[in-house]
Amino acid sequence: MKNKPIGLEYLIITEDEISISANARILNKNYSKGICINTIEQFRDVLKNNGIELHQEFVKESVLSLAHVKNDVDVEISDLKSDFSYIRPSKFFKIDRNNSITFESINKGDKMNVNIYGKYFEMNTNKSKYKGLNIEMGFYNGITRIESKFDDWRTVKKYLGTRNTIEILQQKNVNSIILNNILRGQPMETPKVDLSQLKTVSQFDDYARTKLLFELCNGNFHLMTEEIKQRLGKNTKPSYQVKKLKKYLPMIQNPQGKKLNSIIKLKEALKE
């Protein structure tokens, strides 16, 4: 290869196979579009201009060993971080960082995570990563990126239903489907607390217990579940108690009621 283009991580050629790892930076000014149906020919041209010519139909004959699927949406990351603080997914671990929220599958066999982050902050923090590219960083001001990462071939096959490159590039609403899985069973709106709605002593006890744990653990959901586990037998799973915790926690967090507007906006933006 003449000069390794930006965005090409590696290219390995053997007798009967070519392995390529690349990201959207290889597209330069079309970085925002990502590697997709509309840019796959540009990707092929970049390699050709650097001495590697792929068959015109390579995209139909190749398979993916990993895939990252992204969408850029006009929603402030600060609003999303605030609203996602009320989300307690059952099948994902949630990790909250300075500029992002990451959801990782609880299934240890899945090499999969979803990262939701402020794109402008990320680019300005990692300027060297984008050096030499014809990219206007200001374009990403106020933009949040949601990126689902499937980091081995089994995970690609499980979540995308295929490893074939063209079939994956033709798929739509991947991140919409993944986000809906994360949000399954999570209320997007919590009404104002009205204790008269608690009709039974059992309901009032569940509410009071949740409020006590919330205050005791300073709102840390993990610590709240640990407090419950300590009071159960060693062989007893806290599934029932945690379910009650999730039911009443939004009422404790927002006694005046709250609508998760930024998440609703994100969901709408991901629909094609």
Condensed to tens digits (0 to 9), the pLDDT of residues 102-129 reads: 999 999 889 999 999 999 999 999 999 9
Percent of all residues in the chain with a pLDDT value above 70, rounded to a whole number: 99
Q: Which of 11, 59, 5 is nearest to 37 (CA)?
A: 59
Shared-domain flag, residues 168 and 197: no
What's the alpha-carbon Rg for the chain, to the nearest Å? 23
Residue 2 has pLDDT above 80, yes or no: no
* Residues 7, 9: Cα–Cα separation, whole Å: 6
Percent of all residues in the chain with a pLDDT value above 90, rounded to a whole number: 67
129, two tokens:
């990563």
Shared-domain flag, residues 180 and 235: no
Shared-domain flag, residues 234 and 223: yes
Last residue within a domain, chosen from 41, 62, 83: 62
Shared-domain flag, residues 175 and 143: yes
Shared-domain flag, residues 174 and 92: yes
Q: Which amino acid is at 26?
A: I
Residue 45 has pLDDT above 90, yes or no: yes
pLDDT averaged over every residue in the chain: 92
> Could you tell me if residue 15 is left (phi over 0), alpha (psi between -120 and 50 degrees) or otherwise beta?
alpha
Q: Please, is 162 exposed, middle or buried when counting C-beta atoms within 10 Å of its C-beta (0-12, 13-18, 19+)?
A: middle
**Residue 85 near residue 263, CB atoms below 8 Å:** no
CB-based contacts of 225, cutoff 8 Å, min separation 6: 238, 242, 245
Shared-domain flag, residues 245 and 262: no
Shared-domain flag, residues 84 and 10: no
Last residue within a domain, chosen from 45, 62, 79: 62
Structure confidence at residue 151 (pLDDT): 96
* Residues 100, 81: Cα–Cα separation, whole Å: 7
- Split into its structural domains, the chain has a count of 3
Last residue within a domain, chosen from 11, 36, 62: 62
Structure confidence at residue 263 (pLDDT): 97
The CB-side HSE value for 41 (13 A sphere, CA atoms) comes to 2
- Give pLDDT tens digits for 167-216: 999 999 999 999 999 999 888 988 788 888 888 999 989 999 999 999 98
Residue 233 has pLDDT above 90, yes or no: no
What confidence tier does 152 reach under pLDDT thresholds 50, 70, 90? very high
What confidence tier does 266 reach under pLDDT thresholds 50, 70, 90? very high
Shared-domain flag, residues 252 and 178: no
User: What pairs with residue 189 in β-bridges?
Assistant: 259
Instruction: Give the mean pLDDT of 82-89.
Output: 90
Reported as type and span, the H/E element at residue 239 is helix 239-253
246, two tokens:
């999730």
Shared-domain flag, residues 232 and 164: no
Shared-domain flag, residues 145 and 262: yes
Q: Which of 165, 171, 164, 67 is nearest to 111 (CA)?
A: 67
In terms of pTM, does the model score above 0.85?
no
Shared-domain flag, residues 19 and 105: no
Shared-domain flag, residues 89 and 142: yes
Which structural domain, as residue segments, surrounds residue 12? 1-62
CB atoms within 10 A of CB 122: 17
Structure confidence at residue 1 (pLDDT): 58
**Residue 258 near residue 245, CB atoms below 8 Å:** no
**Residue 185 near residue 249, CB atoms below 8 Å:** no
